[in-house]
Structure 1
Amino acid sequence: MTTDTSQPRATILYVDDEEMACKYFARAAGSEHEVLSATGADEAIAILREHQAKISVLVTDYRMPGRDGGDLLRQVALEYPQIVRILVTAYADKDMLLETVNSGEVFKILEKPITVTDVREVLRLAGERYRERAVRQQRLMAIDETLAFLAHELNTPLAAIANFARGIEARVAGEYNQQRNAEIGRAAGAMHD
């Protein structure tokens, strides 16, 4: 009897205007990944809006009609920062690659023609990155909850101490004013005599 200790299937969104490239990528990704595909940036955004909770990796071609992959990567980086982003390109335009990497926060770049080995390795690394981000996010949320709890626990007694101090201040101020008023009254009475 064997038990399945593997990670759940990761969902990948692959974007390429060539349908054959989408089919090839889905086969190359293997059975350990669910691959959704889109033939353009706008279709990809629609899929992301519908399936955002389960998509962990976006892989997009750069050159596509309409909006290019760089534009898509920038939008996804802003709207879905938890998704690991990978760029696929057949062009060695270094300026374009640098600009896209710097503005789109690209995790990896795959050069066409892509191989099954390359696809599986980059998806393995992207899956690790996604899981690391998820763990880090959970830790940050736990820290936030702990800090909120500690702030509440500290503020409750501090509020009581502050109220007590204000009460003492009011009482002392009242006594001081009564003593001062009596002195003024005696001084005023002595002036009339």
Structure 2
Amino acid sequence: MNLTFNVSQCKGNTTNDVGYTTVEIAIRSAVVLLVSVTIILSNLLNFVILWTIKNISPVTKVFLINLTTADFCTGLIGCLPAIAPAINGTWPYGAIWCQISAIVHGSCSTVSIWSVGVIGVERYIATSYPVFYKNKMTQKRSLGIVCLLWTSCLILFVAPTIIKGWLLFTSMWMANSNCFVNVIIYSAIYPSFRFRLKTIL
């Protein structure tokens, strides 16, 4: 997939499948379908589990629901519509939906990545600083963090469209920002994890 993803690339390109046999196209389409359905169904199952489970912190549940929502939207809006292009090699949905799909896909994927890090930090604080966690980490604040995640990601992916008139779908600076944030998060978590692992062993 090209890193630069603009409107002109959404209008269909009949040369995409030159050199591909019917069997190869069928395999590619089947893989896209399988991945899309798996993502959607597995996250629907996650919704059911999170809805029914009771013995879990409300703060943790908010973050897990947010992670599930981001992954579900990625499968439904980002992956599932890709079945038709996988079959015929063209984008049949038009330029507007292309931009919407790209923004949603990029935003949801980034929120999903960041949510994993947020959950890790939340669990680290809960286990290492239980008093602070109990006093400061409320469900209202967790909802605020979720809103901040979505707002930040939407701004990062919508801004290039407004400023430049074209969409930078997954730019290198966005990929680097994801990597940078996660390195910081897991660097903070790892010492506590290693210490607790030693105490268990």
**TM-score, normalization by structure 2:** 0.28
**TM-score, normalization by structure 1:** 0.29
Which has more radius of gyration?
1
